[in-house]
Structure 1
Amino acid sequence: MGSLRGLQYALSFHSRSSPSTIYPTTDAHPERESQDTHLLADLQRLHEFGNYLSAGWLQKALEMCLSMHREVQQIFPQIRQAVQRQNSKWMDETLDDTVKLLDVCNALREYMRDIKQYQEKLHLVIHMLNGPIGPWQLGRARIALGSLCELPAKATEPPQNKSRLENCSSVLRRMGGKLAAPCAGGELVEPIHAAMDLTVFVCDLLLVALSFRSRRSLPLPCSGHSTWGGALQALQLKVKEEVDKRRNKGIVCVLLDELFAVESASQSVNDLLKRFLNSKSVPLKEAQDLELRQSVVCLKNCVAELEDGMAFIESQINELFEVIIGGRMALLDALTYS
């Protein structure tokens, strides 16, 4: 598995037209068709990239979400009048959806901190086994790593109450069902609808891919209601197929490629430690020492891959939080002066 460094710019999304020419205040179907064509091309790139449960793919999907939200803010002066003409129900629902997405971003940021702590504990184990390996190092590393290896197994037990991540997933699924309907706000506010729709899908996938404890698959994709809606539906279906395929293979705990690699590598080191200690093979023979050190190097490399991916995803989630706030403020401003 190659390094994830630099993957954040591996997929170059298209250059957008000038905001002043995309969405005039009167209906302009050719421009809307052009926008749909661009959005369709972006979704197709995500579709063709594959590796839907890798950090690299999630980075690209998040970058597309950010691009769409930023574009909405750029064209907002041109669609302000269309926003102001919407009925109060549309405005209330859209503002409510932004609050829900902000809550999801906060839940994801909290979970990213949990993953950081998991990585830090693995670094401690790696440090213990980097120098001379004696009985003390083996015993301490076995205790520390054993508790970490038990995390995924324990996490699969159904909790008494839904976790915050699971609650957020349920909220996103309800939002996705509602957004599947044709945009109630009309054609000129369709970019807002599109940005929300894609964000719901990507955030739901993040909740499934990053969680040790989630047994839930992605929901069936909703019917597409436009050119880009059909492309998003096809992408959702492919991602769902991949998730379900891994579920059927028994990979219940960990779906993200990099997280699964770390879990597998840590389990391999833990198995060696357990075997050596149970057989009282201390001090280790030369072949045993080499086998253990090779496993530790593999774990170290997997942790580095995970850290590279998570660092950029965390940064993107923070950016998404800020850009959603910006969009919400623009809507509130339009409501105030309507």
Structure 2
Amino acid sequence: MSRSQDPQRPFFPFGNPFRMILPKSSSLSPRLVAILNSFEETLAERLKTLKPKDCKEIQSLSWMISALNSLFAIHTDVKSLITSLELPVSNWDDKWIDVYLDNSVKLLDVCIAFSSEISRLNQGHLFLHCSLHNLDCATAEQFLKARSSLDGWKQHVSSKNPRLEKCFSILDNLVDTLDLPKIKNSSKGKVLMCAMYGVRVITVFICRVLAAAFSCSAVKLSDLKVRETCLWSEAFTDLQACVHGQVRNALSSGKVAVMKELDLVDATVTKLYPLIQITDDAEAMRSSITELRESADILSQGLHLLSKEVDGFFQIVLTGRDALLGNLRVGSDLSNSTRKNNHPEWSTVR
């Protein structure tokens, strides 16, 4: 994706991404403090909800679905905060806008990578479907076709998706620019930047966990350090320790996948594969076939729901970006109109 159609704006690099943006300052009015505190307390609660009583529950599509659902809600929360601040886009600093537009493109690319991987896993379901169909026929020839389909499934799920590799580099870049620039003269701007910092941290965290789960690699799963002054920092640190620890343990134990639904299918395939050649153990084969059919259906349903959540997150990022660009264009048109009214001769210029 490219920003070639966006208004041309300079890009400003920033220094230490973990510097303080908004110290607890008495310069903020009670109303602004209340708005920020309400946002951060809601964010903390969303993070606490994401941490299950048993961290092993994180190894599931259902947790990934909940994580994306929470991310959707957090991005909706910050939109509400912007409305409460009554801070029009015309008052946003160019630097804020540049970073927002740049990051939104990166997040859209991450969503595309996730959708690509979900589609790839769904394609693997076709191998399972063909194998089950052939096993129902109960002939030697069909059994051979069933084994061939299971071989195809194993090769397919073990292959790598190049989009995910690019996804990690995108997320690394977002980590390097987590903070937005310091705000000096705008109290509302300070509140907005502090809220956006929280949104960006949680977004990067969840996207990196999902990328690690999809790719079965915890190499890029480094811990994020956040400012202790944020009301959500303790909940985030607690959740991060639980999630990262569980993902690392799962991958270090030799599991084929972080997602237990995918791991269960793999275990069932491994058990069924040699039984196909044993014609005198029909009962064990029937049991394994039933297990494979059930586990494959659960995986397919989970991937379908996860795909919907990825699409939902993609849409909220896209609509937020489009709304900002629309406001920028309106502001530019109004500015041009004002200049023409002040200089009537401009209206004759083509």
| Pairwise same-fold verdict (TM > 0.5) | yes
Larger Rg computed on CA atoms: 2
Residues 285-315 of structure 1: per-residue CA shift (max 9 Å, x gap): 2xx1111111111111111111121111100
- Are 2:302 and 1:309 equivalent residues in the alignment? yes
Give ranges in structure 1 of 5+ residues lacking alignment. 1-23, 156-161
Q: Cα deviations across residues 85-119 of structure 1 (Å, max 9, x unaligned)? A: 44322221111000000011111111111111111
- Could you tell me how far 1:153 is from its partner in structure 2? 5.0
- Which TM-score applies when normalising by structure 2? 0.76
Are the structure 2 counterparts of residues 123 and 150 from structure 1 closer, same or farther at C-alpha, using a change threshold of 3 Å? same
Match of residue 323, structure 2, among 322, 330, 333: 330
Distance change in 2, residues 1:85/1:233 (3 Å): farther
Q: Does 1:195 align with 2:199?
A: yes
2:114 maps to a residue whose letter is L
Structure 2 CA distance, aligned partners of 1:150 and 1:271? Answer: 17
CA contact (8 A) 1:40 1:227 kept: yes
Distance 2:31 2:327 in 1: 20
Structure 1 segment 78-89 matched on structure 2, within 5 A? 78-79=84-85, 81=87, 83-89=89-95
Please list every run of 5 or more consecutive structure 2 residues that lacks an aligned counterpart in the other structure: 1-27, 184-188, 333-350
Q: What is the Cα-based RMSD across aligned positions, in Å?
A: 2.6
TM-score norm. by structure 1 comes to 0.79
Q: Is the 8 A contact 1:176 1:201 kept in 2?
A: no
Q: Is 2:153 the counterpart of 1:148?
A: yes
Q: Give the counterpart of 1:120 among 95, 119, 126.
A: 126
Q: Is 1:66–1:323's contact at 8 Å kept on the other side of the alignment?
A: yes
Alpha-carbon contact 1:129-1:141 (below 8 Å) kept = yes
- Equivalent residues of 2:131, 2:150 under 8 A apart: yes
- Equivalences for 1:84-233 in 2 at 5 Å? 84-131=90-137, 133-152=138-157, 155=160, 163-179=162-178, 186-211=190-215, 214=217, 216-225=219-228, 226-233=230-237
- The equivalent residue for 1:67 is 73
What SS does the corresponding residue of 2:51 show, helix, strand or coil?
Answer: helix
Shift of 1:177: 3.9
Tell me by how many angstroms 1:172 deviates.
Answer: 0.9
Secondary structure, in 3 states, of the residue corresponding to 2:268? helix
Following the alignment from structure 2 to structure 1, what is the Cα–Cα distance between the partners of residues 179 and 131?
47
Q: Distance in 2 between matches of 1:215 and 1:145?
A: 27
The AA in structure 1 aligned to 2:315 is E
Whole-angstrom CA distance in 1 between matches of 2:220 and 2:250:
10
Aligned length: 296
- Structure 1 residues 42, 108: closer, same or farther in 2, change over 3 A? same
- C-alpha distance in 2, partners of 1:27/1:179? 26
